[in-house]
Structure 1
Amino acid sequence: MVFSRGRGRGRHAQDGPVGPETDDLAPGNPTQGPYDVTEAPTGVRRLDLGSLQIPAIEGVEVRVQANPDGAIQQVVLANRGSALQLGVFAAPRTEGIWDEVRVEITESLRRDGASIREATGEYGPELVAQVRTPDGGTDLRFVGIDGPRWMVRALFQGPAAVDPAAAATLTEVLHGLVVDRGQEAKPVREPLPLRLPRELAEQSRQSPPATA
Structure 2
Amino acid sequence: MVFSRGRGRGRHSRDEQAELDTNEAAAALEPSVGPYDVTVAPAGVRRLDLGSLQIPAIEGVEVRVQANPEGVIQQVVLANRGSALQLGVFAAPRSADIWDEVRAEIAESLRRDGATVQEVAGEYGPELIAHVRTPDGHTDLRFVGVDGPRWMVRGLYQGPAATQPEAAGPLADVLHGLVVDRGQDAKPVREPLPLRLPREVAEQAGRPPEAGTR
Q: Give 2:200's aligned residue.
A: 199
Counterparts of 1:82-93 in structure 2, within 5 Å, are 82-93=83-94
With 46-55 and 157-166 compared, the bigger mean Cα shift is at: 157-166
Question: RMSD between aligned alpha carbons?
Answer: 1.1
Q: Give 1:61's aligned residue.
A: 62
Contact 1:68 1:205 in 2 (8 A): no
Q: Give 2:157's aligned residue.
A: 156
Contact 1:142 1:156 in 2 (8 A): yes
- CA drift of 1:135 comes to 2.1
TM-score, normalised to structure 1, is 0.82
Contact 1:149 1:181 in 2 (8 A): yes
More helix by share: 2
Distance 1:148 1:163 in 2: 29
Distance 2:41 2:70 in 1: 28
Q: Give 2:46's aligned residue.
A: 45
Distance 1:192 1:93 in 2: 15
1:136 matches 2:126: no
Counterparts of 1:113-128 in structure 2, within 5 Å, are 113-128=114-129
> Higher relative contact order by CA 8 Å / sep ≥ 6: 1 or 2?
1
Q: Give 1:183's aligned residue.
A: 184
Q: Give 2:110's aligned residue.
A: 109
TM-score, normalised to structure 2, is 0.82
Distance 1:197 1:33 in 2: 22
Distance 1:148 1:39 in 2: 11
More strand by share: 1
- How many residues are paired up? 180
Listed as ranges, the gaps of 5+ residues in structure 2 are 1-27, 208-214
Distance 2:205 2:88 in 1: 21
- CA drift of 1:133 comes to 1.4
- CA drift of 1:164 comes to 2.3
